[in-house]
């Protein structure tokens, strides 16, 4: 009977501890970027920056035109160097995707990973930035333009900032999507919140371990009395 009580008690405490730790592990997120100059993230003078981690996924989407009378924008998506990003040119770079079928929803998916099991896949590394632009002029006959274009006239460019991942990063469900680009200012605020959450999680773990130790001593005390 005493042995059964001890086994049940330690099994319960172990389950609670393991669950608490698992909930703090990072879970990959999904982002959706509408690759069109009408996207409000490109309207600001400040650069559009997306903060991600290894394991995250990004869908670059060419919006579908529901009405044939709606304006259509033709563009290409490039990943380029920092210099090409700043000066808006894409010569010597191959397009990742063409937005050239306005009556269809076109999607180009990127998995943020260092190593992928298929050739010619993009590779990403922590604490580095990657640059995406479109130098198309918005018209079908200018989709292959390699200088200026929407990058210059509509600020249609994006910085992908790969953050260092920690095991205690707050978890987000696998199927959750984020459609908002975080600026550096917003990111700083989130870092403050994250540090507070980290401290709370650390304190919670200390309390849980103290409770486990106290409960163990109390059980041993009761067993001696019996």
Instruction: Please say if the pLDDT value at position 3 is more than 50.
Output: no
119/81: higher pLDDT? 81
Share above pLDDT 70 across residues of the chain, in percent, rounded to a whole number = 62
pLDDT tens digits, residue range 68-79?
A: 778 899 999 999
- List, as one string, the DSSP characters of the chain: -HHHHHHHHHHHHHHHHHHHHHTTS----EEEEE-STTSGGGSSSSPEEEEE-TT-EEEEEEPPPSSTTS---BEEEEEE-HHHHHHTB-TT---SEEE--TTS-EEEEEE--S--SSTT-----TT-EEEEE----BSGGGTT--BSTHHHHS--EEEEEEPPP-TTSPP--TT-EE--PPPHHHHHHHHHHHHHHHHHHHHHHHHHHHHHHHHHHHHHHHHHH-
Give me the pLDDT at residue 115, please.
80
pTM: 0.65
Task: Give the CATH class of 28-165.
Answer: mainly beta
Give me the pLDDT at residue 183, please.
41
Tell me the two tokens of residue 41. 């993230």
Give me the pLDDT at residue 58, please.
97
Share above pLDDT 90 across residues of the chain, in percent, rounded to a whole number = 48
Which sequence spans correspond to the domains of the chain? 1-26+183-226, 28-165
Average pLDDT value for the chain:
77
b/e 122-144 (16+ beta carbons within 10 angstroms → b): eebeeeeebbbbbbbbbeeeebe
Instruction: Please say if the pLDDT value at position 111 is more than 60.
Output: yes
pLDDT tens digits, residue range 172-216?
A: 333 444 444 444 444 444 455 556 555 655 665 666 666 666 667
If you average pLDDT over residues 161-178, what whole number do you get?
A: 56
């Amino acid at each position: 009977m005493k042995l059964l009580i001890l086994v049940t008690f330690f099994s319960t405490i172990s389950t609670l501890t393991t669950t608490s730790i698992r909930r703090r592990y990072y879970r990959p997120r999904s982002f959706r970027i509408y690759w069109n100059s009408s996207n409000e993230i490109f309207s600001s003078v400040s650069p559009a920056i997306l903060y991600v981690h290894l394991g995250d996924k990004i869908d670059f989407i060419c919006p579908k035109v529901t009405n044939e009378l709606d304006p259509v924008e033709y563009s290409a998506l490039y990943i380029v160097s920092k210099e090409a990003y700043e000066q808006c040119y894409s010569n010597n770079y191959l397009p990742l995707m063409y937005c050239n079928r306005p009556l269809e929803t076109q999607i180009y998916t990127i998995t943020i990973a260092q190593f992928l099991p298929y050739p010619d896949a993009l590779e990403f590394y922590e604490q580095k930035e990657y640059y995406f632009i479109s130098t198309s002029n918005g018209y079908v006959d200018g989709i292959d333009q390699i200088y200026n274009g929407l990058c210059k006239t509509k600020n249609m460019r994006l910085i992908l900032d790969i953050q260092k991942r920690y095991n205690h990063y707050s978890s987000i469900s696998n199927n959750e999507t984020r459609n908002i680009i975080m600026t550096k200012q917003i990111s700083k605020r989130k870092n403050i919140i994250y540090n507070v959450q980290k401290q709370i999680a650390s304190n919670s773990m200390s309390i849980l371990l103290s409770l486990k130790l106290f409960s163990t001593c109390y059980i041993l005390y009761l067993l001696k009395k019996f």
